[in-house]
Structure 1
């Protein structure tokens, strides 16, 4: 069983790394696409009809992948102004409460994202005619990775170090 879990964890890590690289490429793609649309409209007096729809799809995908990456790297938004003033047991309880809330949000994204994908299976986007579910596909995927990374942070804090970017560590030194 342990061997299976280790293999499954490695598989999920590979997919997570692919999504992380994809997110970087998508950001560049959105910037280029929107820039091309603005230049085309302003100087060529021609509008790239599908650009807004594709940019929206890419931004939605990037947003949900980025949320999962934020949870994985433990850099999601939190307020620490008073946190350090509390005693250690209260700090631990606050961390666990944060994990539970994050786990709940990830689970809701998974469940409701899946429902949304299923509800849009038979419709198409107006301009590109792509299946509508593509717009919402990253919601349950992002939710799954939020749940996965939160569980790692809760029960296997050392295992969560796999998400740290070696380039960021070099920059810090």
Structure 2
């Protein structure tokens, strides 16, 4: 017993601790919200994902899946020319040749942002944590239903906030 105390004391004196634990850096809090026409929908954080392509003209793809339909594609927003810095990416700039569009497929509802006459959606990135691969910001997409006759098509406004991890793929 005395020997183990002496050994522990010697190792501590040399800067080696047997009981020391290295605490990993705390991960920032994560959240992902979705509202459809103002009504809050819980999201499935396992099926939802944010991806950034690794090439020069980076494409950011946000896939936000409602918890009620984890096997459906959900809301997908594509933003090209993405830079990992805080910025606003507006859908109206689609006329400039940038790809900024959204689609929504849940259950029997299919909608696209390009189907609406007014395409005023945006992705607003307010913070980028490259160490933890975390994006923070808001999104808003206006989509029009495409799987029904034009006269019966509904307009959907999908919006929310995020502090969510992204993958480079």
Choose between structure 1 and 2: higher strand proportion.
2
Q: Same fold (TM over 0.5)?
A: no
Larger Rg: 2
Q: TM-score range by the shorter chain?
A: under 0.3
Report the TM-score when normalising by structure 1: 0.20
Query: TM (normalized to structure 2)?
Result: 0.20
